[in-house]
Amino acid sequence: MIISLSDRMPERDMIWVTYLVPALILLLLIAIELIAILKINGGQFSYTLDDTYIHMALAENINLGHYGVNPGELSSPSSSIIWPFLLAPFMSLSFADYVPLMINTLVAAATLLVYGRLVTIAICPCSDRAAKITAGLIVLLLI
């Protein structure tokens, strides 16, 4: 008689396999990348693309009551309408440079959780444990 992993794991542990393990792996990879960035840049955090800095400059000016990068000059420099408004409340904080990273990390983890649920439903709407493990492995591929 062959006993599979899915036969030995209780239902509550399947939640870890299907949803939380992929999210934790994502967070671990982001943490490793952040540490590497800080190490390579001598403790200075930076983004590789200038779009982030354009959004942050616009958010800072929105926070000051002006829409545009240069004070007194109206412009629409951002490719996103909502993103600078989401960043604006945080621009006066000491960790403002990290806010886009934190928001993107939370949204990426939430996306993995939603994707895990969709894959689980698509593979097997029942409570088959093997299907949930398969769903968790498929979600890992998303990372």
What's residue 8's pLDDT? 52
Confidence at 1, pLDDT banded by 50, 70, 90: very low
Q: C-alpha angle 51/112/35, rounded to 5°?
A: 55
Unique residue bearing structure tokens 């239902």: 11
* Best CA proximity match to 100, nearest among 65, 56, 62, 67: 56
What's residue 93's pLDDT? 93
pLDDT tens-place string over residues 10-57:
555 566 666 778 888 899 999 999 999 999 999 998 887 788 888 998
* Best CA proximity match to 96, nearest among 60, 50, 58: 60
What's residue 3's pLDDT? 45
DSSP-derived secondary structure for the chain: ----HHHHS-HHHHHIIIIIHHHHHHHHHHHHHHHHHHHHTTT----SSHHHHHHHHHHHHHHTT--SSSTT------S-SSHHHHHGGGTTSTTGGGHHHHHHHHHHHHHHHHHHHHHHHHH-SS--HHHHHHHHHHHHHH-
What's residue 85's pLDDT? 93
pLDDT tens-place string over residues 58-115:
899 898 888 888 877 878 888 888 999 999 999 999 999 999 999 999 999 888 888 7
